[in-house]
Amino acid sequence: MGIAEFFQHLTNGLTLGGIYALIALGYTMVYGILKFINFAHGDVLMVGSYAGLFIYNALRGDASLGPWVLIAFFLAMLASMVISALLGVTIERVAYKPLRKATRLAPLLSAIGVSFILSNSAAWAFGTNSKKFHYPFDNTPFVFKGVVITPHQILILSVSLVMMVILKIFVDRTRMGKAMRATSLDQQTAMLMGINVDRVISLTFSIGSALAAVGGILIALDFKVYATMGTMTGLKAFVAAVFGGIGNITGAMVGGILLGILETFGVAIFGIPSGLKDTIAFGVLIIILLVKPAGLLGKDEKEKV
């Protein structure tokens, strides 16, 4: 493999990984605080993508290119983040909060139920045909020293980078971020320190869901919007979160990006047929569970008796 080819795969891998990372953050943040996997996360992503698509189409009207289309795209993305955040918080209030004191299996099953309800409702309401999400810009690729990069890829890389930096600053440096970290360490004690845990949980769901909406729209530009789009993407982002160490925010970022790179290089170097690309993610999941169950950045917790 030549240098240009290497960088080509790296670019593709980073782009894919950036999206995985955005979505994985939602899984990992919720797990960090509630110790539960929100299996409806992928479907929140799907609803966010539909919302983004409809708002974008309404705003841009007949225009297909130009500055207004670009503005409309970002406005639609913002609006879809807000809508998804509200949806995420509502799901938590309705389907998970009442089960907080139940067995750990109960909210998990509830999440799977919510997932089916959302994807079936979307299929019923919007039809089963996939809808195209038009690029808000001319997607003619640039060629830079033999490496091809599309404006879409640049968009993905920059948006996911900005989102992750903002999130990191928020969690590490603001008081609300501290409240989140304290809550994830010990919920009851956090309460006794004056932290409103319910509010922290709502905030966690809204941030995770908003990031999922962004991830969904970025994917939709290439792969269209459809009712089950959240399923496979969601599962892979979940693998990325486990890979990096579930519950660990930096872990989700690293896990997502590494998974994207592994998938791209797996096809390119090891000659895994691209039809089997998805098996790479799940192969990684099995290996990580066998070798380092806590994930790359996770801590091995020893249960104390």
Partner 1 sequence: MTILETERLTRAYGGVIAVNNVDFQVEGGLITGLIGPNGAGKTTLFNNMTGLDTPSSGKVRFMGKDITGYPAHKICRLGIARTFQNIRLFKDLTVAENVMIGRHFKTGKDETKGRFLNALKSYIHLKEEENAIYDKALQWLDFFDMHSYRSELARNLPYGKQRELEIARALATDPQLLFLDEPAAGMNPQETEHLIRIIRKIRELGITVVLIEHDMRLVMNICDSITVLNYGEKLAEGTPTEIKNNPLVIEAYLGRDE
Q: Which spans of this chain sit near partner 1 (rule: CB under 8 A)? A: 169-170, 173-176, 178-179, 182, 185-186, 188-189, 191-200, 203
Residue nearer to partner 1 on the CB measure, 5 or 186? 186
* Structure tokens, 135: 């690029």
Residue 143: what residue type?
V
156 touches 214 (CB < 8 A): no
CB of 181: closest distance to partner 1 in angstroms?
9
Distances (CA, A) of 18 to 25, 151, 196, 216: 11, 15, 32, 12
**CA dihedral sign, ordered 178, 180, 185, 191:** positive
Residue nearer to partner 1 on the CB measure, 145 or 302? 302
Residue nearer to partner 1 on the CB measure, 122 or 195? 195
CB of 170: closest distance to partner 1 in angstroms?
7
- The Cα 110–Cα 218 span in angstroms is 28
Q: Please report, for the chain, how many H helices and E strands are present, in that order.
A: 11, 2
CB of 248: closest distance to partner 1 in angstroms?
12
CB of 194: closest distance to partner 1 in angstroms?
4
CB of 196: closest distance to partner 1 in angstroms?
5
CB of 197: closest distance to partner 1 in angstroms?
7
CB of 169: closest distance to partner 1 in angstroms?
7
Residue nearer to partner 1 on the CB measure, 119 or 184? 184
* Structure tokens, 44: 């929140």
CB of 25: closest distance to partner 1 in angstroms?
18
Length of the chain: 305
Nearest CA to 252 out of 300, 208, 186 is that of 208
Tell me phi and psi for residue 142, to 5 degrees.
-90, 150
Residue nearer to partner 1 on the CB measure, 100 or 277? 100
Residue nearer to partner 1 on the CB measure, 129 or 189? 189
* Structure tokens, 197: 């845990």
* Structure tokens, 4: 């240009």
- The Cα 295–Cα 230 span in angstroms is 23
| Secondary element (H or E) of residue 137 | none
- The Cα 304–Cα 40 span in angstroms is 32
Residue nearer to partner 1 on the CB measure, 150 or 206? 206
Residue nearer to partner 1 on the CB measure, 3 or 176? 176
96 touches 209 (CB < 8 A): no
* Structure tokens, 174: 């603001």
* Structure tokens, 127: 């039809």
